[in-house]
């Protein structure tokens, strides 16, 4: 009797501030290959399709899937304006440039002591777009589309810092010029809005499906993880509402704006008419995780934390939705979980942190954590492999 092939789809999201999805997928494959019995390994097909929902690891995924090559631009950091070199991806074949907002404004580039979103600026994104603008106009680069992965940001300034690079100005009631920072938003009574026509179109890949304002919005839901206190979150929300009023953005438009990236995606839409694409479309249509994967015997996905935000269609949960309903076992590896888990017999959540003394240790020893998770998964692979080949 011929032994049937056993197919494993490995499609994790990045583990924020730990490892990107390409690294995680390789760690999973390596651990499984080392742990599985030799008589089974030769009959397993591994499909590696690391994903990104626009957040951390977006560039690595674009390099793997679209052949993007890395370029570097010197831009301002979010916390003190010092310059640093930021990577972007460029694929000449489609004249497309890929930007990962987490590499420009992300928590991973903001030291812990500077994680105070009331005084952080998205100016670096403006620096970057302005340099691309100049490079295209000067004939140095040929760019028709800029794709920006919006997620993993440490800033929460409604993208106003970005627009400062193009000439945006704020003034208070005394006609004094204000720093363009969230701490000053409520004081603004006059805004000088620049008119900018970019020589390329912008598409944003949005990591979570949440509104700009309200209890699930940029300030009240997401600013705490960026370092804001409850009071600061409320103050920033009021500042956002005030600025939108000063900019004469009506309620109908406001209700359609995304809160991703601390309002960065909203600003890209308002000022540059960026087309927003939710991660669900990007992962299914552009990364094509479903192509051939319906034949998978098991699926392994995961991300750093499984919590309420996961249900806002973050990357790994898109994979869960794609396969768990098709009676395919899905293993979700996460650093930690918080809150109730979905009631789905095909979903198996493995929390790495419970095997270590601290969260910090689990991050430092991510390779060991993945191996522990894979030991549990191997038992199920062996069982399912035997079941498949007993029919």
Which of 101-115, 132-146, 269-283, 308-322 is the least confident region?
Answer: 308-322
Confidence (pLDDT) at 323: 87
Give pLDDT tens digits for 293-342.
668 999 999 998 887 666 666 788 888 888 887 889 999 999 888 767 67
User: How large is the average pLDDT for residues 92-112?
Assistant: 96
Q: With cut-offs at 50, 70 and 90, classify the pLDDT of residue 234.
A: very high
Confidence (pLDDT) at 47: 92
Residue range 58-280, CATH number: 3.90.1510.10
Confidence (pLDDT) at 59: 95
Higher pLDDT among residues 5 and 163, named by residue:
163
Rounded Cα gap, residues 199 and 105, in angstroms:
23
**What is the domain partition of the chain in residue ranges?**
6-51+289-388, 58-280
Residue 44 has pLDDT above 90, yes or no: yes
Residue keyed to tokens 């249900």? 311
User: How large is the average pLDDT for residues 169-196?
Assistant: 97
- The domain covering 6-51+289-388 belongs, at the CATH homologous superfamily level, to Glycerate kinase; domain 1 (3.40.50.10350)
Residue 1 has pLDDT above 60, yes or no: no
Rounded Cα gap, residues 194 and 192, in angstroms:
6
Six token digits for residue 331:
């293993």
Provide the 3-class DSSP secondary structure of residue 109.
helix
Give pLDDT tens digits for 137-174.
999 999 999 999 999 899 999 999 999 999 999 999 99
Q: With cut-offs at 50, 70 and 90, classify the pLDDT of residue 343.
A: confident
pTM of the predicted protein model? 0.90
Confidence (pLDDT) at 322: 85
Higher pLDDT among residues 207 and 70, named by residue:
70
Confidence (pLDDT) at 311: 64
Contact 132, 139 (CB under 8 A): no
Measured N-to-C along each axis, helices 366-388 and 21-35 cross at an angle, to the nearest 10 degrees, of: 60
Q: With cut-offs at 50, 70 and 90, classify the pLDDT of residue 371.
A: very high
Confidence (pLDDT) at 7: 94
Rounded Cα gap, residues 57 and 50, in angstroms:
9
Which of 172-186, 307-321, 339-353 is the least confident region?
Answer: 307-321
Concatenated DSSP letters for 139-175?
TS---SEEEEEE-SB---STTHHHHHTTT-EEE-TTS
Give pLDDT tens digits for 248-266.
999 999 999 999 999 999 9
Concatenated DSSP letters for 173-206?
TTS-EE-SSGGGGGG--EEE------SSEEEEEE
Q: What percent of the chain has pLDDT over 70?
A: 96
Give pLDDT tens digits for 23-38.
999 999 999 999 999 9
């Amino acid at each position: 009797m011929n032994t049937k092939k056993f197919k494993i789809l490995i499609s994790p999201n990045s583990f924020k501030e730990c490892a990107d999805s390409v690294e995680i997928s390789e760690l999973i494959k390596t651990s499984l290959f080392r742990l599985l019995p030799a008589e089974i390994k030769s009959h397993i097909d591994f499909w590696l399709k690391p994903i990104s929902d626009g957040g951390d690891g977006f560039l690595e995924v674009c390099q793997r899937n679209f052949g993007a090559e890395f370029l570097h631009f010197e831009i301002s950091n979010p916390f003190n304006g010092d310059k640093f070199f930021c990577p972007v991806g460029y694929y000449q074949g489609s004249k497309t440039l890929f930007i990962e907002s987490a590499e420009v404004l992300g928590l991973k580039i903001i030291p812990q002591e500077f994680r105070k979103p009331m005084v952080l600026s998205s100016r670096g994104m403006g620096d970057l777009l302005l340099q691309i603008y100049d490079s295209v106009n000067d004939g140095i680069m040929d760019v028709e589309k800029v794709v920006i992965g919006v997620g993993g940001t440490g800033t929460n300034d409604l993208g106003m810092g970005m627009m400062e690079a193009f000439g945006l100005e704020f003034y208070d009631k005394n006609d004094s010029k204000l720093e363009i920072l969230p701490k000053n938003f409520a004081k603004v009574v006059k805004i000088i809005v620049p008119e900018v026509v970019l020589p390329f179109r912008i598409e944003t890949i949005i990591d979570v499906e949440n509104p700009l304002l309200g209890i699930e919005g940029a300030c009240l839901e997401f600013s705490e993880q960026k370092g804001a206190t409850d009071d600061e979150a409320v103050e920033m929300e009021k500042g956002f509402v005030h600025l939108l009023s000063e900019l004469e953005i009506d309620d109908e438009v406001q209700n359609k704006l995304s809160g991703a990236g601390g309002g960065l995606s909203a600003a890209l839409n308002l000022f540059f008419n960026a087309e927003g694409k939710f991660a669900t479309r990007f992962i299914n249509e552009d990364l094509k995780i479903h192509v051939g994967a319906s034949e998978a015997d098991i699926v392994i996905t995961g991300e750093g934390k499984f919590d309420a935000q996961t249900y806002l269609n973050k990357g790994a949960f898109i994979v869960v939705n794609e396969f768990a309903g098709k009676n395919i076992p899905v293993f979700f590896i996460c650093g930690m979980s918080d809150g109730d888990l979905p009631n789905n017999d095909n979903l198996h959540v493995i929390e790495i942190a419970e095997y270590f003394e601290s969260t910090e240790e689990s991050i430092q020893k991510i390779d060991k954590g993945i191996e522990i998770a894979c030991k549990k998964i191997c038992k199920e692979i062996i069982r399912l492999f035997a079941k498949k080949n007993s029919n």
